[in-house]
Each structure stands twice: as structure tokens, then as C-alpha cells.
Amino acid sequence: MRTNRSVLLVIPAALLLSSLPYIFGYSLNTPESRFTGLTYNIDDACVYLSWIRQAADGHFFIRNQFAIESQGNLQFNILFLALGWIARLPHIPLIGVFHLARLVFGALLLFAIYRFSGFFLEKQEHRLAVLIVAAFSSGVGWLFGGGTDRSLPVDMWQPEAITFLSLYLNPLFLCAQILMVASLAYLLRARETGMARHALAAGAFLLLLANIHTYDVLTVGVVWIAYLIASSAAEMRLNLKTILLSCLAALIAAPALLYQWRLYNAEEVFRLRVQTETLSPAIWSYLAGYGIVLLLAAAALPAIIKRRDRSLLLAVWAVVGFLLPYAPLMQQRKLVMGLHIPLAMLAVYTLISLSRRARLPLVWAAILLALIAIPSNILFMWRDAKWLAQNETATRMHRPFLDNSEVSALKWLDRHARDTDTVLAFPDVACFIPAFTGARTYVGHWSETPSFAWKLRVWRAFVESDTSDDSRLNFLRRWRISYVWWNTTLKELPGPDGSSTSVFNPDKKPYLQKVFESGGIRVYQAVSR
């Protein structure tokens, strides 16, 4: 199967468009402040940077540096190990590795979607249409404004739901979707050829997927089982060899799944993170989040079901993809990953019929659909660009720009702090501590930090002026705090009721020794641990 030359134009165009907010962010650098290279979901990106950092420092097992609780250090992730090894190369910063991975995996995912569509659509123009729709389309969230409230359509706040937003933000999502597509492609080949080598390949991809982004194995497994049931019913026969080959693929993936289960039972910090609720919104948020693409995909379903060919897999994936995010699990909305892919392919089936009636070339029809369905993606990036100009992000807690004194303090900690040291930092910069210094932070991430809300309250109590020195000393000793990050520009803490509370002066405390100062940022070493 030859590759259409237009693919070599579409993929770079999508990657360039999805990179514009970062280009804009770097253009806003000043002599006084530096862009971190991060926009939406800064805290999550810092988790990934922490994993890359640990691998670059020579660690095979990943430690949650956003947690101070005891850990057995059993987790590892092949993707971030590989990125960490790349980060060992001289003159390549962690954020550079992160964005290099985003671009490389983005290109590979789009190419994988193009090739995967060849199972169902033979003509090159059909596959090119799929690529265009998948790469640029979104839903109708833009009609509801530019907010990030979880009650809004998902194309305005859930990146893994939309291919373009995954291109924009997250190499982990991109890698996971590549593995999902590859595993389904080889399972389909195994079913149609009866060859064990295809089942072995599918199992290898599932093995990687189970290690890198475990939730998605559930999606692939349920989609494939549902497809086997639907195809067996359509053909009025049970293909025993396909079942055996599918079991072979599952057997190959099993060690990674069993290891994750062992990790879940052995590591309390890991288990608490997995148990963090990420529940799905109301169903209309997904329906509106896919918009016209979903309508076109739904229109194709009756004909697909009647055909009873391999395209039935797309119909099954689309239906299962809407049901799984409402399974009785804690991590519901994570299971929407990859759903945009079959919807885009099904939409092209309808688009083929419409373009013939309108006597419009299919590629132009796909471009027209992409233009109609892209506004949410544009608004998403425009919103982030506006926040960049204001040094804000969706969480409001974290800032995409750090001033030079903050950057200098992070560099000092990078040189002096060990990975076993814990830094008590102000919440707006705490998430950067593991990412850019390798040290632990007391409270830094809403999901990775156990008892996050409680620890925020503890931090607030620590810095309030009316807290006793004995209480602060007990806190420092109990949690083995090594360093305290202080911003001297903060004189008062705002309260939820509009009141404010003054903060204490660490310079006058014998248990805190100042070891770094730049501008308004100071780092103190806890001397009575």
C-alpha cells in the first residue's frame, strides 16, 4: 500500500498548528521571566517530566516524587525510560525531550491512523480523508464558550478525547493510541490470516500498552471481544482459531497486567493514585464533544452493520467507546481514549456518500468537514494563548512562566538537593520541584499527592504567623523536610471568605537556615530534622 504524498503535507500541518501556543509562549520570554514550555495541565506534564528526569538520572524504577509516604519503588514505564535515556544526551533539556516525543509520536499516530484505515477503505483518497478528519476535527464545545468546567463538552477540557488535543499536549496519550491501533490491526490480521505471528505482534503491542498506559488494554480487550461476538453472530459460526490466537495475544500481555496488579496491591501510594476519582461527565458532554463527526459516524452504522465485513470493528469500537466511560470504575473518563479514531473513520463512510451526491471531490469534502469541526480546537489553543499572556493556566494554581529568581532557585536545588530530599514549596511552584530538581515535594499534584487537600491546609498552617514554632518543628521533623521554599513577596494568605492571614518571617527562626536567595525567592534548609 503506497502512501499518498498529501499525507506528508497533512501530518506536518497538524503538528505545526498544534505547536503554535508553544511558539507563542516562547515568544513571550523576557529578560525577567522564562516560559516553562508547558500550557494546559501543567501539573500532569510535570509528573511526566519527573519520570523522564529519574530515568535520565539512571533510575529504572519510578518513584512518585509528589508523595512523601513510604514507597517500595516497584513502578517502571518503558516509554519514560526511553525518553530518559535520550535526555542523557548532552545539551538536550527535559522539556526538549518532552516536545520531541510529542512531535514524533504525533506523526506516528497520524500515520498509524492513515494505515489502519486501509483495512476498511481501500482507496488512497478515502484514507487521506480519514487522516484529515481525525487530525483536525472536534465537537461543538466552542458554542458553549471557552470554559473548562467538567459539565461542558469534552472537546473543551479533556485532551485524550480528541486526537488534535492529544497532538497538542501529551506524548503519553499519543504513544498509547499508537499501541491501541497497532494491537487492533494485528488482531484483525490474525483473525483473517490465521497466522500466529500476527497474534504474537498484537500481544507484543498489548504488552507495551499494559506497561505504558494500562487502562487502554481494557478498551482494546472489550472492543475485540465484542467484535468477535458480533462477527460470529453475523457469520453464524464460531471461529475457534481466532479465539485461540486472541488468547495467545492476551497471554503475551498478561505479565505486564499481572505486574500492574501486584503494584496496585503492594504500593499504597500507587493504589491511592489509581483510586482517585476521574468520573465521566453527563453523556451529552461526549455527544457534543464529538459533534458533527459523531452524527456522520452514526449515519454510517446501519450500512456498516448490513455489510457484515471487517468494518464492523469500527462500529463496535464506537459503541463500546461510549459505554466504557460509564463502567463502574474510578477512572471512568480515561477510557474514552482513542474513541475519536473510529468515529472519524465512520464519518468518512458517510462523507463518501455525501460527496458523490454533491459531486464534490472527497478530499475537499473532508477539508470542509475539518474546517466546520475545528473551531473547538482553535478556541482551546486561543484560550491557552490568552492565559499565557496573563501567566495563567486552566488550574489557576500553576503559572506557565517563572521569573528568573524562581528559575535560579530551581537550578540551585537541582545542584544541591538529593532525590531523597523533600522540599516544602509554595503550591504555585511545588509541581516544578520533582520535574526540574529531582527532589520530592510535600504537596504538588492533585492526584499524585495522597491527601492533597489536607496537605494544602497543613502547608497553609505552617506559613501562618500565628502557628507556634513547636508545631512547625514537629511538622519538619515528622515529614523529614529538607528545604523550605519561600517567596518574600507573599505577606498575607487570602482566605476562602475574603479575609487574609499574615505569614511568619522564616529569617527569625533558628530551625531554618537560609542557603539561597535571589530576588524575592529564598530557600531555607531545615536544620532541626
Q: For the segment 18-34, what is each residue's pLDDT rounded down to a tens digit?
A: 999 999 999 999 999 99
**Average pLDDT rounded to a whole number, residues 285-300:** 98
Is residue 529 pLDDT above 90, yes or no? no
For the purposes of burial, counting CB atoms within 10 Å of the CB of 440, is it exposed (0-12), middle (13-18) or buried (19 or more)? buried
* Sign for the pseudo-dihedral over CA of 179, 180, 181, 184: positive
Is residue 495 pLDDT above 80, yes or no? no
Query: In 3D, which of 444, 423, 509, 504 has the Cα closest to residue 473?
Result: 509
Confidence at residue 117, expressed as pLDDT on a 0 to 100 scale = 97
In one-letter notation, the amino acid at residue 461 is A
Confidence at residue 406, expressed as pLDDT on a 0 to 100 scale = 97
Confidence at residue 394, expressed as pLDDT on a 0 to 100 scale = 87
**Average pLDDT rounded to a whole number, residues 274-284:** 93
Query: In 3D, which of 428, 499, 423 has the Cα closest to residue 464?
Result: 499
Assign domain 401-526 to its CATH architecture. Answer: 3-Layer(aba) Sandwich (3.40)
Confidence at residue 145, expressed as pLDDT on a 0 to 100 scale = 86
Confidence at residue 2, expressed as pLDDT on a 0 to 100 scale = 56
Confidence at residue 283, expressed as pLDDT on a 0 to 100 scale = 96
**How far is it, in rounded angstroms, from Cα 298 to Cα 91?**
50
Percent of the chain with pLDDT over 70: 99
Query: Is 515 within 8 Å of 525 (Cβ atoms)?
Result: yes
Angle at 213 between CA 212 and CA 217, to 5 degrees: 115
Taking the domains of the chain in order of start, what are their residue ranges? Answer: 7-35+93-273+282-389, 401-526
Whether the model clears a pTM of 0.75, i.e. scores above it, the answer is yes
Is residue 235 pLDDT above 90, yes or no? no
DSSP letters spanning 294-358: HHHHHHHHHHHHHH-STTHHHHHHHHHHHHGGGSSSTTGGGGGTTTHHHHHHHHHHHHHHHHHHH
Confidence at residue 146, expressed as pLDDT on a 0 to 100 scale = 83
**How far is it, in rounded angstroms, from Cα 496 to Cα 53?**
36
List strand residue ranges (DSSP E) for 358-480, in order. 401-403, 422-424, 440-441
pLDDT tens sequence across 117-163: 999 998 999 999 999 999 999 999 999 988 889 899 999 999 999 99
Per-chain mean pLDDT for the chain: 95
**Average pLDDT rounded to a whole number, residues 451-478:** 94
